[in-house]
Amino acid sequence: MKGEILEIVWLESSGPPQAALEPRSIGFGSRLEQIISQSLGVDIARDWMPNGLSIRLFVPRGAIGD
């Protein structure tokens, strides 16, 4: 069905505080985000919280099959 979006939410907790992270560091998660975004046309939103990170993936239905 055209126009349908699947939302996937990933929650991480008990990681390093946001201030402890290097703003330009690229780790496994960042590389994975880039690959998924580019290959599937997925929109990704990050929300840093005091106790962790929330990542939302907005996946077009067509990217995962009919």
3-state secondary structure 12-41: EECCCCHHHCCCCCCCHHHHHHHHHHHHHC
Per the model's pLDDT, the better-predicted residue between 64 and 5 turns out to be 5
pLDDT score recorded for residue 20 = 55
Over residues 21-38, the pLDDT tens digits come to 555 567 887 888 888 888
Could you give the CA distance from residue 33 to residue 59 in angstroms, rounded to a whole number? 12
Over residues 3-12, the pLDDT tens digits come to 688 899 989 8
pTM greater than 0.85: no
Average pLDDT value for residue range 43-56: 86
Picking from 40, 42, 45, 41, the residue whose alpha carbon sits closest to that of residue 56 is: 45
pLDDT at 1 over 50: no
